[in-house]
Structure 1
Amino acid sequence: MNLKEFFLQHPRAALGFSGGVDSAFLLAMSVKYGADVQPYFIKTAFQPAFELEDARRLTRELGKTLIVIEHDILKDNEISANPANRCYYCKKTLFSVLKERALKDGYTLLMDGSNASDDVSDRPGMRAAHELEVLSPLRDCGLTKKEIRRLSREEGLFTWDKPSYACLATRIPTGTVLQREMLEKIEKAEEELKGIGFQDFRIRLFHGAARIQITEGQMKEMLEKKERIIKLLTPYFEDVFLDLKFRQSE
């Protein structure tokens, strides 16, 4: 099955939309094949502001209306306690919120942007999606992240080379209680690094300090801008470390 066939079979659906590479491509293909797919962005303390900005830009360029749902994810103790399976509880909550709103809007089918490169056994959030009968067209059609990037570029989507992004909660070690203030600090600190040209990196909490993880190709620039980086991040973290274990780009 390909996406054209999928949308012929499922012409009307609600999409959990992040503004990332995968959900952007899926929404674009739904427009291309004439399906009625409504994108929903669920805004929580885990999503940085730029993700919502990208989601709004992409939907605007595709001529779609983005529905934004505000949800206080930290009020859920199973999530804010930050257990090893936090992602399962989080996704189950978010898809439940999406399902409730989508049904009110007349959409009975839910979709997400999981692709064929995603390892189901290593993604507890995907188990939650399966339990709530959320379809994953990209994965079902065998589309990998690499193929989605290539096809997105051919379709002229600005998201084609957007770095993969995990939610802010992943920056904090398992077992450390998730607090809004710390999530905001990490978001602002990452914005500082983006502002001076860095991409595809993470700032992770390490015993109260900032641990920067970058791709190997950015090491030279990181060292050249060392003093500037320390100055930019000091308002948020007293100590700043560089992780010598490089990130792998997706």
Structure 2
Amino acid sequence: MGHDIQNIPLLNLALSFIPVLFALAILFKWSLESSNALYALARMLVQLLLVGYLLSYIFNADNAAIVITVLAIMVFASSWIALGTIPIKRNLLYKQAFLSILVGGGFTLLVITQGVLNLKPWYLPQIIIPLAGMIFANAMNSVSLAAERIHAEIDRHVSYLEARRIALHASLIPVINSLFAVGLVSLPGMMTGQILSGVSPLIAVRYQIMVMCMIFASSVLSAAFFLVLAKPIFSTRFTKPQ
């Protein structure tokens, strides 16, 4: 169990696109949006390459100001993306989404990095940035689902309290499902990566428990905080006359 994860040569990496080509051929044959899928794949490739170089720079710089800037960008971007389910209300609800993700995700990140892991230094980029990415991404998804659901329920003239309950429940379906499935249906990314790199499964399990706790907490806190902050807006401006 002491081996390092192997490096993937570029030629070997290119082989991973063979099944992708078959998948694209099926989309094209069935007259689906193969061009959109091709664009998405190309964008994925460019984005990941750029992120790889950027993270290498950030890790080598070991600078607290750079880490804080990256975290701020994550929160700003995730807040904007979260409202993609109701784009015409983005400007109206952006502040609520931003504060929700900042408080719900930020509090969780603080407890995990400074309490559970006790990072030295506190801003250790190799740890805090990947964890922040997981936390803010899941908080973003929960806020997004909550925003879409409460908007739909209010439009159906459901009371705010009932709409809030329905919205929070809907926003947590992916997280709850992942809690049920972890270890039984799937081995999540962090646990798989650690096992591949030679870490004992018993240690990998501890880290995965930490990850699942932080994902669940940040999702619930952010979605609930958003629904509370957005009450005045959803209770007045979105309600249609009977």
TM-score normalized by the length of structure 1:
0.30
Q: Which has the larger radius of gyration?
A: 2
Q: Which structure: greater helix fraction? A: 2
Q: Which has the higher contact order (CA 8 A, sep 6+)?
A: 2
